[in-house]
Structure 1
């Protein structure tokens, strides 16, 4: 049997999946030990014990200045902004993307602008957002929307266009109106694509969020990372990066699990990543 047809068992798949993480931890541990042996005051690669002690303090000891538990207050602020950005982007993708996929006139109207707008580097729009929306939450949420909404709109529109024409023709034969075709044929078939677009948009959404928080914010995971970088506080920066990665991973897995539960028919053809 060819290797392309070999599939690992569940235990082997878990082992192979964990192997790169174990290797990364091992490599870091060795490199950190070497640097700290040469210079105990080295800040570049702090020991795991140092990072654990620092993060425990930030998670379970109130800050002396404001009384907040910094890790949790930063996490709540960032997730609030991320959530609002994803909700607005999802709403725009459904409204505009479905219209583009269903109505040729809407496609002719929106497609050129959406395609052009999606090519604008979102970071370059950040100063404009700060000038027009101020330095508050609106600009940070707006950057996420500007960054991922156009991509989600195009993905959803293409999914609607790719629906087999036979399904639409059958609905038309049965006398369905445009609205009924949209709600009963198009929408159910493209909802899995919406979840996929959200999953793909998670990574750039986090990038835009951290960028906005780094420039103008008083709390948030990105704000904290760029605040302590001037002190070379890698015992905070590295755990925060790992924490953001874990949050993004959990968000991605939650969306995948929801997709499998809600649209099991979409996942029958093969494994989902």
Structure 2
């Protein structure tokens, strides 16, 4: 008898099983929404799919009466700009510190304990400090994203550098390579796909910190819009915005996976 742990679903089953949880959640929502709307057609908690689609289309295609701007696209561009800048800075810091602490013993003894302690500080607890020190503008929002995910990327890159075979480093030194040449020609090509993987795993946290900062102090952004309309219980806008954020995060994850697969094909082959 073939054991369950040795059974692998074929392509059609993989697709069906992957869609199953989404279908179940959608069915549960539709049934709950229909039940509530049957009792009270004006119930705001679980709006119909059609109502949410109309609201989403309105903010996406019709200009705001007060500002003349398309609300969805203004919020999306503002949030993506903050997220992209914060994640980019965190990647650069994580790569530099991770490589140095993983390769150079003096840097490891100096910065590794500090990074470990830094990673234990809840980033949202630091948010008021950032707003006080940096103001409520864009700098504080970007700084929260950097503070939230940079320590994770640093530690992940450091671990990858420490996992490099010692024989490669010895051979490079035997051939006369300097520390700088070892970093550029040996270490960086090995850790770049790991950097993209670590960034992909940290994107969820980055979105969390972005939404939290926008909810407290912003004049546009996806998080700002959600917390602005929550006082009116406007679930017709909140739920589509949450779905839109989820779609953007999913597309970012797919893009990073694709970059790793195309630029570093050896990385996936080695892992598998």
Q: CA deviation at 1:17?
A: 1.0
| Partner in structure 1 of residue 147 of structure 2 | 146
Secondary structure in 1 aligned to 2:220?
Answer: coil
Structure 1: how far apart are the matches of 2:268 and 2:120? Answer: 31
Is it true that 1:13 corresponds to 2:14 in the alignment? yes
Structure 2: how far apart are the matches of 1:126 and 1:33? Answer: 40
Is it true that 1:130 corresponds to 2:92 in the alignment? no
In structure 2, list runs of 5 or more residues that go unmatched: none
| Partner in structure 1 of residue 60 of structure 2 | 59
| Partner in structure 2 of residue 214 of structure 1 | 215
Provide, for residues 66-91 of structure 1, a one-character-per-residue CA deviation record: whole Å limited to 9, x for no partner: 01111111011000000000110011
TM-score normalised according to structure 2 size: 0.97
Structure 1: how far apart are the matches of 2:62 and 2:221? Answer: 17
- Tell me: CA distance 1:270–1:156, structure 2 relative to 1, closer, same or farther (3 Å): closer
Considering only aligned residues, what root-mean-square deviation do their CA atoms show, in Å? 1.1
Q: CA deviation at 1:133?
A: 1.0
Secondary structure in 1 aligned to 2:130?
Answer: helix
Is it true that 1:50 corresponds to 2:88 in the alignment? no
Q: CA deviation at 1:156?
A: 0.5
In structure 1, list runs of 5 or more residues that go unmatched: none
Q: CA deviation at 1:270?
A: 5.7
| Partner in structure 2 of residue 183 of structure 1 | 184
| Partner in structure 1 of residue 225 of structure 2 | 224
TM-score normalised according to structure 1 size: 0.97
| Partner in structure 2 of residue 106 of structure 1 | 107
Provide, for residues 159-187 of structure 1, a one-character-per-residue CA deviation record: whole Å limited to 9, x for no partner: 10111111111212222111111111111
Moved more, 211-220 or 13-22: 13-22
Moved more, 243-252 or 3-12: 3-12
Q: CA deviation at 1:211?
A: 0.2
| Partner in structure 2 of residue 264 of structure 1 | 265
Provide, for residues 7-56 of structure 1, a one-character-per-residue CA deviation record: whole Å limited to 9, x for no partner: 32222212211111111111100110001001111111000011011111
| Partner in structure 2 of residue 198 of structure 1 | 199
Structure 2: how far apart are the matches of 1:72 and 1:7? Answer: 42
| Partner in structure 2 of residue 117 of structure 1 | 118
| Partner in structure 2 of residue 80 of structure 1 | 81
| Partner in structure 2 of residue 235 of structure 1 | 236
Runs of 4+ in 1 over 4 A off after TM superposition: none
Structure 1: how far apart are the matches of 2:169 and 2:4? Answer: 40
